[in-house]
Amino acid sequence: MKKKATVVYSVERSFVKSDISILEALGLKVYKIHSRPEKNLLKFLLNRIREKLKSILYLSRSKFLISWFNDYHSFIPILFSKLFFKKSIIIVGGYDAIVDNKNNHGLFFKGGLRSTIAKLNYKMVNEVWVVHKSLENGCDFAKQKFNVISGVRRFTSKKDIVIKEINTGYDTRFWNYDQSEEKTGVLTAAFFSDKRVINIKGLNIFNQLATFLPNVNFTIVGESGIRISEFINLEPNIKVMGVQTRSEMKELYQKNKFYFQGSRLEGLPNSLCEAMLCGCIPIGSRVFGIPDAIGTTGVLFDTEKDIEQIVEFINSDLGATDLKKARNRIVRKYDISKRTEKIRQNIF
């Protein structure tokens, strides 16, 4: 009989699907508790009831529980994992380990009930897996430059909390590119559903770059719910696109020569790693997991003062060898097989 696991999550993102596939490939039957974020009180309470019923049904049969991110959706399943003496794990991706006061952003920003529950989750859980080591003790650079408070240990009084770095992994066969095709342009992507994301992802710097490179095509992907042009006077060489499918993103990565990750806070950015696998030369801010992803294959910057350095980098003579270096770094460090092996070691 197959061993069983329960995975709880609020949004079914690609990395959640990937982990479910990994668990299934390791021979486990996976039970899913999908609790979508709800602001409506009745729907919020129905979510909690559903979590309770599914937790009783699933966790009594499971070997362990994994919660992608820490939030309301984690509390009841973790509580029942304790009652059933099952191992519980929270995977921390970024939002659940930061406070960005300037942008009113982060799980612990407001305090109150949500923050209290999140701290209880960290106390109850057996292990925390962070996608990058900076999410354990915090990113000093982000604190110095942007006053972003970060690190799971900053938000829990549990001194013996077990925290492990288990990086996200990427399908290096799917994310590829035709090395004979010419690549041009600069791309950045995020889910731009809130005006705060514009600042969090460094779009003002992206826009400034476009002013210095009027003959280069710039593309922003992920507009949803807001119009970015209402908050930034975008340069004429910037194209804005809505949310794209996985295959559409692959085509955009393959088409563009550079990928821009100008975030002030991150874990290990999925889009950056996917873009590098598709031969994009990376440009990134010096925070959290971005420098580890980029290494020496691209350029890192500190603030808006480094614009001239980035412009010079884009205008430099970068060719096929540089594209391969970017791809090879992600293949070497973050291939999906590495995450699969780490998960296997930590659940069996």
pLDDT tens per residue across all 348 residues of the chain:
789 999 999 999 999 999 999 999 999 999 999 999 998 999 999 999 999 999 999 999 999 999 999 999 999 999 999 999 999 999 999 999 999 999 999 999 988 999 999 999 999 999 999 999 999 999 999 999 999 999 999 999 999 999 999 999 999 999 999 998 999 999 999 999 889 999 999 999 999 999 999 999 999 999 998 999 999 999 999 999 999 999 999 999 999 999 999 999 999 999 999 999 999 999 999 999 999 999 999 999 987 678 999 999 999 999 999 999 999 999 999 999 999 999 999 998
Judgement on whether residues 17 and 150 belong to the same structural domain of the protein: yes
pTM score, two decimals? 0.94
Q: For residue 68, what are the domain limits? A: 4-166
Boundary of a domain, candidates 134, 166, 198: 166
Whether 346 is in a domain gets the answer: no
Helix (H, G, I), strand (E, B) or coil at 241: strand
Whether 242 is in a domain gets the answer: yes
Judgement on whether residues 214 and 279 belong to the same structural domain of the protein: yes
**Structural domains of the chain, count:** 2
Judgement on whether residues 34 and 67 belong to the same structural domain of the protein: yes
Is residue 307 within 8 Å of residue 315, measured between CB atoms? no
With b for 16 or more beta-carbon neighbours within 10 A and e for fewer, the 123-152 pattern comes to ebbbbbbbbbbbbbebbebbeeebebbbbb
Whether 173 is in a domain gets the answer: no
Parallel/antiparallel/unpaired status of strands 148-150 and 162-165 = unpaired
CATH number of the domain bearing residue 254:
3.40.50.2000
Is residue 72 within 8 Å of residue 15, measured between CB atoms? no
